[in-house]
A = this chain, B = another copy of it.
Amino acid sequence: MSTFPRKISDSTVRRSSLYLRVLEALELEGSDTVSSRVLAERVGATAAQVRKDLSLFGTFGTRGLGYEVTALRERLAEILGLSHEWPVALVGAGRIGSALFEYPNFRERGFQIVAILDSDPRKVGQSWDGIEIHSTRELERTIERLGVEIALLAVPASVAQGVADHLVESGVRGILNFAPTRLRVPPGVAVNEVDLALELETLSFVLEGGGRDGNPAPEDVAAGPEGESR
């Protein structure tokens, strides 16, 4: 439905997810409107950045007033594809898979794990919270039957590419990959890599002295804060 003029940058999308969270919190706190400045403060960005980001999606604010919290929250959720549930497949029922399965934030945001797949015969047939673990031999059938378009890939690196190919063939268009391998996927398929060792390595690089400053100094910090929470 909504297609946007330019290509929206990844950073804008990521920040928009954060805006959405803040808007949800503000709604609970009973705020009707919010300014770009306040939004910026809560996510650690600048007010100009917030306005620029939002302006890429359309015109939501009222000059002199700010943004209407509920309206913006709804619109952002829609833009991010969060106004409906996403059936998600979990592939790999090991330690990481298990942690992902239990991760409460997924379901809260509309990502429902509706299928679990594993190649280990000892795991196949088990149920987690009422969801049976299927063999990866039934991957295609399962994915198709449940209309899964997003998969959490938590298998060993050595088999990740093969499983990913299989997922794509079955109709999956988005993969969140936890295996430390760069996946090759055809155009039209989105992959996000979560590479934990790499994250630690960027920390050790900084600690070892690589970065000139370990923390880009929290900008202002001088201007008097006003959002007194209580």
Contact = CB atoms under 8 A, between A and B. Distances in A.
Contact of A214 (B14, B173, B207, B211): B173
A33 B43 CA distance: 46
A77 to B, nearest CB: 10
A76 B202 CA distance: 12
B14 A196 contact: no
Contacts of A158: none
Given A208-B81, A214-B189, A215-B189, A18 B150 contact: no
Contacts of A202: 10, 13-14, 17, 190, 192
Contact of A188 (B81, B105, B227): B227
Interface stretch (A64-72, A134-142, A177-185): A177-185
Contacts of A1: 209
Given A96-B99, A98-B99, A182-B43, A81 B204 contact: yes
23 contacts: A7-B213, A13-B205, A17-B197, A17-B202, A43-B182, A44-B184, A80-B208, A81-B205, A86-B207, A95-B98, A103-B196, A105-B197, A106-B196, A111-B204, A173-B230, A176-B199, A176-B200, A184-B218, A185-B215, A188-B215, A189-B214, A190-B215, A192-B199
Given A7-B212, A20-B201, A80-B210, 17 more contacts: A8-B205, A13-B202, A17-B197, A18-B182, A81-B210, A82-B204, A86-B204, A100-B196, A109-B197, A109-B200, A173-B214, A173-B230, A176-B196, A185-B215, A187-B215, A188-B214, A192-B202
Interface of A: 1-4, 7-8, 10, 13-14, 16-18, 20-21, 43-44, 79-82, 86, 88, 95-96, 98-100, 102-103, 105-106, 108-111, 149-150, 173-176, 180, 182, 184-192, 194-215, 217-218, 227-230
